Amino acid sequence: MINTEIKPFSATAYKEGKFVDITEKDVLGKWAVFFFYPADFTFVCPTELGDLADHYAELQSRGVEVFSVSTDTHFTHKAWHDSSDTIGKINYYMVGDQTGNITNNFNVMREGQGLADRATFLMDPQGVIQAMEITAEGIGREAEDLMRKVKAAQYVASHPGEVCPAKWKEGEATLTPSLDLVGKI
């Protein structure tokens, strides 16, 4: 999936008190996070979505839009948003993918269940996947780690020829791959 382009889709999302229609064209031109989760009104999912909501302003300041996606409807997203304090703080897109089109496009549909895996995809402004993470049902994701990956991907995109090593943090030294580095790291 890395370095593949986003596939066509259309869906309705709940965002800031409104239902909005979106397509893959709404993703192009900005960095985007597709944050798949199994279902609304569950257990691990609200902890992840709430954590991501706490980092949404920082993501927005970096030109990143967030699209959380489950196979629930946009109506269910609104009901959850209205009934949960944790989900109620979400301002990013909550995409209803009841047809499974988007979930299947990203190859994260659980066969025979109609539910998305717990998966995150980071896309560049050209709609190309630059990072992805898929975890088992019981393993929640952390928004702070996603932020580190966003910063690294944006750095690499704006500094051709440089790469970010493990544990890299914004402002730290990067590497410039060359024959001189072989065997010296």
Hey, which residues are catalytic here? 45
The residue behind tokens 């500094």 is 159
Give yes or no for a contact between 131 and 153, defined as CB atoms under 8 angstroms apart: yes
Burial environment of residue 66 by CB neighbours within 10 A (0 to 12, 13 to 18, 19 or more) = buried
What does the DSSP 8-state code read for residue 43?
A: S
Q: Which two tokens stand for residue 53?
A: 């909501």
- Three-state DSSP class for residue 14: strand
Query: Using an 8 Å Cβ cutoff, are 38 and 141 in contact?
Result: no
Tokens of 57: 């302003």
